[in-house]
Structure 1
Amino acid sequence: MSGCGAENGLISVDQALDLILQHTKVLATERLKLNQSLNRYLAEDVYSNINLPLFSQSAVDGYAICAQSAIESHTEFELIGEIQAGHSSELQLKAGQAVRIFTGAKIPFATTTVARQEIVQVIDASRIKITENLKAHADIRDVGEEVSVGQLLANKGQQLSVGAIASLSMAGIQAVEVFKYPKVAVVITGDEVAQSVEDFATGKIFDANGPLIEAWFRNQAQQVEIFHVVDTEAAVQELIQKLSATHDLILTTGGVSVGDYDFIRPVTLDLGFEQIFWKVKQKPGKPMFFARLERADNSHCYLLGLPGNPAAVYVGMQIYTSTLLNALQGQKQQPNWFSAVLTHDLKMDSRERFLRMSASFDQSVLKVKSLSKQQSHMLSNLMQANCLVRIPAGQSLNEGEIVQGLFIH
């Protein structure tokens, strides 16, 4: 098979991902306040120190009642007081008595059931009547019915979503042990970046990679430092050497191919980095570069070099950067690919392709459709794309075949 995809030395996408997982050392842990831990991965199991609910409480606005059996319609009770949510009360019920109560309030001693206010008729300030039959123990939330003391709430390795944080907060968890998030530096290489429209006259272009990467990290509630460097060996070497001493990950765009001004790889190797892989049999993003440096304290700095074309950067972020960041936080697993039905034919290519597509359900079947303008310098179809779909190398696909993909946000 001819073409650039047949170049010797290329590894497959899955081989590249496996190498990232194999050669990445998990970072240390740190203790964070729960409200600062969104999207972080737990470094330990979390157990409850309390019962939920903390006490038996009313599930509705209504009346707490003490009765010796189920209550028949038209039964009357003596009203002896009121309990609001968040207020304590020493009231104790006796048979035939009731107390006004509100949702979440602690039910008084000897309560046998709660009557929601819709089925209660207030006769006067001291008497109420039940207007429907009422079972024993109705609308009572029992102490510990959701969570009991010592119960496992969250597992080590679980990512803390908004819902997880809310759940742990309700159980009284105020701080959690999580894997440290890597300190990330982003290096945008190239002399061609325009600062204004006037720069176009000199052949420059606006930078999409910097805003793309910064927004990608912000979408994960993370901040990164972004650096721009000119295409000279001395400038690249000075910056990489400086960052390798202070950061866990250096993410670069451009400068990883074989051009006269592609200095990232040779400079990195000269600085003592170990090459893990270079060049992946994929499109876009063939000249992907991954290396690591072991520092004097046995910690590591990793460098992931992405090609300069923005579509290749986007693919690299969604697949490789995401995998690497997760691995640094103890999540050593490949991306979670989905399966879907292709809605049209696709021609063969010598390299595995990642196509920007639109995924939607059709009669409960997930289907994907390719979008136009897939070239590596084009990004406009990201306005419609919601997934990246893997197209295997060396084979054409027909409508109706099953493909793998990754949802993008």
Structure 2
Amino acid sequence: MNNIVSACGAEQGLITVDQALDLIRDKIQVLETENLKLNQALNRYLAEDIYSSINLPLFSQSAVDGYALSAPSTIEPNRSFALVGEIQAGHASELQLTQGQAVRIFTGAKIPLGTTTVARQEIVKIIDSSRIEITESLKAHTDIRDVGEEIAVGDLLASSGQQLSVGAIASLSMAGIQTVNVFQYPKVAVVITGDEVAASVEDFAAGKIFDANAPLIQAWFQQQSQQVEIFHVADTEHAVTALIQTLSKAYDLILTTGGVSVGDYDFIRPVTLNLGFEQIFWKVKQKPGKPIFFATLQRADHSACYLLGLPGNPAAVYMGMQIYTSAVLNALQGQKQPPNWFSAVLTHDVKMDARERFLRMSASFDQSILKVKSLSKQQSHMLSNLMQANCLVRIPAGQTMLEGQIVQGLFIGS
């Protein structure tokens, strides 16, 4: 009896999670590129390498507030210098120091010719308005930022395929980059199927439920700094056909929830195939989300529309967004690397299942070791444990995992 239960949902012919992800990466056609202002390109993927046209720093400059000095070698304590001027950051100066001279200088200001070292102001004693004294020994070339020490003209700043994070944008801005060539972001339509979705509390009397999938998906895309359009469609073949046909002409990706299994009102797959889409895969040996569906339509202009059909249960939708929707969006933008799985130690046993499972877990460090702990309420219609979960953990098919064993996981957004 136990063997019959454990094999449920793992019939012959199902592909694995990794096979499904490989198919997504292999079959997807990368989108065209566009040129954007750098301040509009957060989270976008570069379509070309970027090289520096300038040195950083642009000129040799002071690393501290202090005094630029000219001396032949190491400066011993109590050595005095003639103070001949002041240079502020952002102000040009024609000053040129000779041996025994000093100039007041501020952080980031251009080092005058003849400077051999800089003394921070904490080790300088002011004798009078025209003379200073160094109170500690000071080596040559102290606190000088050399021209080009961080980046030289021609250095690679960023590589094609790199995602533009906040830090990347800041770094490129400092190097004077104002526009970037990036892959276009996919135009995405989200289709929520199901007559069971309630529009008001009064609908509960008719057996309807509140919709979690549309808010979940919209928030997920907002976290990626992207906008999507959301459509609701009735569970009729005519309504589904009309909507998918219209959307397939204008969008790069149609993301659907529900209607991909074998029920009497599951129209997404048959309608999609009737409209000329080619099935790439249907059903994956996983839990939750086995009846996931992926298909492609080649349009007359040689562009493609992709349809990713997720099951309707909210936990399956959430897992599908983190694993599969991410893979599709990345592949469309030229990113065809596997997910960045982490490794962690299980803190408890996990029973065997015929399918690979994605469990919502809590990950934390214990004496520098990353450990994961499963949360209760893992059923596919439940989402409440997402209040505590910060990762999805892969439990291999057909294996009982024991406390202390290593598992793979994926961190999920807050």
* Secondary structure, counterpart of 1:235 in structure 2: helix
- 2:216 matches 1:212: yes
Give the match's secondary structure for 1:293. Answer: strand
Aligned to 2:405: 401
Q: Give the Cα–Cα distance (whole angstroms) in 1 for the partners of residues 142 and 264 of structure 2.
A: 79
Letter aligned with residue 33 of structure 2? T
| 1:346 counterpart (350, 365, 371) | 350
Equivalent of 1:291 in 286, 291, 295: 295
> Which of 62, 75, 88 is the matching residue for 2:92?
88
Which of residues 372, 375, 379 is equivalent to 1:375?
379
CA distance in 2, matches of 1:320, 1:286: 12
Alignment of 1:220-239 (within 5 A): 220-239=224-243
Q: Deviations over 1:64-109 (max 9, x none)?
A: 1112222111111111111110111111212211111100000111
Among the aligned pairs, what percent are the same residue? 81
Over 4 Å off, 4+ runs: none
For 2:10, the aligned partner's letter is: A
Q: Can you list the C-alpha shifts for 1:213-259, whole angstroms capped at 9, x where unaligned?
A: 11111111111111111111111111111110000000000111111
Deviations 1:133-183 (A, max 9, x none): 111111111101110000111111111111111111111111111111111
The corresponding residue for 2:148 is 144
Which of 94, 105, 126 is 2:109 aligned to? 105
Does residue 201 (structure 1) correspond to residue 238 (structure 2)? The answer is no
Instruction: Determine the C-alpha separation between the residues in 2 that align with 1:227 and 1:28.
Output: 26
* Residue range with higher mean Cα deviation, 71-80 or 300-309: 71-80
Q: Deviations over 1:248-276 (max 9, x none)?
A: 00000011111111111111111100011
Question: Structure 2 matches for 1:314-333, cutoff 5 A?
Answer: 314-333=318-337
Is contact 1:45-1:154 (8 Å) kept? yes
Give the aligned residue type for 1:258: V
Residue 9 of structure 1, CA deviation: 3.2
Q: Matches of residues 117-128 of structure 1 in structure 2 within 5 Å?
A: 117-128=121-132
Contact 1:73 1:130 in 2 (8 A): yes
8 Å Cα contact 1:9-1:279 kept in structure 2: no
**Contact residue 188 and residue 253 of structure 1 kept, 8 A:** yes
Which sections of structure 2, spanning at least 5 residues, go unmatched? none
1-structure distance, mates of 2:410, 2:187: 26
Which runs of no fewer than 5 residues in structure 1 stay unpaired?
none
Whether the 8 Å contact between 1:42 and 1:156 is mirrored in structure 2 is yes
- Counterpart CA distance in 1 for 2:60 and 2:361 is 52
Match of 2:365 among 352, 355, 361: 361
Query: Shift in Å at residue 7 of structure 1?
Result: 2.1
197-206 or 371-380: bigger deviation: 197-206
Matches within 5 A, 1:30-49: 30-49=34-53
Could you say what the CA RMSD is over the residues aligned between the two structures, in angstroms?
1.1
3-state SS of paired residue (1:167)? helix
User: What secondary structure, in the 3-state scheme, does the structure 1 residue paired with 2:9 have?
Assistant: helix
Counterpart of 2:275 (choices 271, 274, 282) is 271
| Paired residues of 1:40 and 1:159 also in contact (CA < 8 A) | yes
Q: CA offset at residue 210 of structure 1?
A: 0.7
Query: Normalising to structure 1: TM-score of the pair?
Result: 0.98
In structure 1, distance between residues paired with 2:399 and 2:81: 79
Of the structure 1 ranges 120-129 and 290-299, higher mean CA displacement relative to structure 2 is found in 120-129
Residue 286 of structure 1 aligns to a residue whose secondary structure is coil
